[in-house]
Structure 1
Amino acid sequence: MDISLICKVLGTSEVFVLSQIELTKQFMTGRATFLEYYVASYPFTSATLFHVLLMPIVFITGVLTHDVSQVDRLWSILPTATVLHYAIHSYLNGIGSLRLYIYLAIALSWSIRLTYNFARKGGYNGYEDYRWEVLRSKMSDFQFYVFNALFISIAQLIILLCITAPAVIFVDVGNEGLYTGDYVFATLLAACVILEAAADEYMWNYQSAKHRYKETGEVAKGFTEKVLKRGFCTIGIFAYSRHPNFLAEQCTWVVPYLWSSYLTGKLINWTVIGALMYVCLFQGSTSFTEEITSAKYPEYKDYQKTVGRFIPNIGSHWVEVLEEDQGTNAKL
């Protein structure tokens, strides 16, 4: 491990990094109590240790249960728990700030809403994300085993750790008063949570209506038979963005980084890694999701040509037409 490289990335001293390593060793060997370690350690250090200890647990659980959605079940909970950790740590050290508590409150609203959405889809009832099954079918058992270890159980937890890193900047800034920019970024962050909630609710209503139509032939209010037969949602906010919920989700963790940049007065700081990894993750996972969807619904390719993946195309959106009209969509 190149300590000097770590120090350069974090913008800190080698003495500090070595002290954190020594403190962690003392805790792991029983020479320091949990409370002593917790209060004395740098909050990102203790958060990192927790995520590292969690990695073999989710991997072993996934192998034993043949269900690799263990991290999926932590996805809406772990980031907020980490931000809560930063808030508690800063409070115990007498440097808690209203800024950090506001961030925690918004993160908590994101967590509650996303956990509820995941639960009502059966996420905590033995449901494994369908994409893992598709990916499993494309790999040998050994390849998927390695993928489970390196990406699902390790990389994903690293991402969940790093997306909350801007809160460490809030801790470092301390309990100074709020600036105008704090109100702006808090409002933007809350708007992201609201947008994602609205998009997920609309998609839930569509999927519920689609399944009801398949079972009973009933067309729910607000939908048409043609829209439900198509199999994927193209109306409402989804007429302008194919994944407005994914857009809002990415922004939910990019905005805190921009907030931290505002506080430091620097466009780039070490916590950018979390925002970058999250955006890259969604680029890859969305491409894989759309590959599955377009194979299932041929008309999805037309939808892709008309509607932007995340950001709406200027002057173009999906237009539903009557059965007797020519064509399937039009560009405005």
Structure 2
Amino acid sequence: MEHSLIVRRGEEIVFTSNEHWLHPLFELEDYLKGKNIPPSELFVRDKIAGKAAACLMVRLGVTRCRVELLSERAIPVFRAHGVEFSYGELVEHIQCRTEDLITDAMSIDDAYLFLRKRAGRVQGLPVKIENLTVDIGRKSILEDLSLELGRGEQLVIHGANGTGKTTLLRTLLGFIQPVQGTIRIGDINVGSNEWRQNRSLVGYVHQENVKNTFPISAEEVAAIGLSERKLSSKEIAYRVEVAMRRTGCFHLARQSYHSLSGGEKQRISLARCLCQNARVLLFDEPTSFLDSSGKEDLLELLNELSSTEAPTMILVSHETAWLDQLNWPRKELKGGRLC
């Protein structure tokens, strides 16, 4: 087999790759995005496949494959999802760290996101907070707080009202100067001159509790994310449309922003963040003014973002019941520190 991955549609070879590990399958995903080819019509030949590769094939919609060297751990995945498979040689285990990290408790979607992060195919940037102390007036709000998130990871920070959750987000944005400690977004120190030039890397979705009737359309709100860019009106319109389509709100473009529901406004706010190409998203009590339907919409949208752009996301909230539906790691903010 001269290529590491060969994909046929009938008798025609439509895709090949010579890359290693899982990269050929991610390349196949990119290829299929621009083609009107049902994955069920494809026959995939792979040199080596373990449990991780099997999860990716299932996620891609592949239904038939041939693997030259197949790990026994891939077989239950293929069988559980009706994938027809054959192999040249069967081994108990492939010597790959990733093979051990894909657990039986992971869904296909969970495994897919995990593998995307390991492959570096996420938009998010790492966030590192070290020994952060923040005072408001004479009161200490955050004390010697440290936190580290990898690229494309998500975190929920919960805690009672008044514990400093919003203060933490505003400090991450550079709006509040800490007494001590450092914050790094990617390779940039928050508060530095370089940070001020790249502040758009962080998007902020705040609580939607402002009631006014200032005449502004949904698409104009989304375009605020491009306000500091020197772009033509045509380019702005294109970027706004792409961002609003990604967040499922383009049909609201011409409507008055203030006439929209809470869930619809959340989608517009996220479109604004995508317009500015934010690679870290901060959510401040995003469900506070949403009804049950709006909360379901937000949950769906967060899951969509996790599996598409995969930015690094931090959500703060005091609503623990709603958070049970969001399968993200959690930390409690208490006494100025994360527990």
State the TM-score bracket (shorter-chain normalisation). Answer: under 0.3
Structure with the largest fraction of strand: 2
TM-score where L is the length of structure 2? 0.22
Structure with the largest fraction of helix: 1
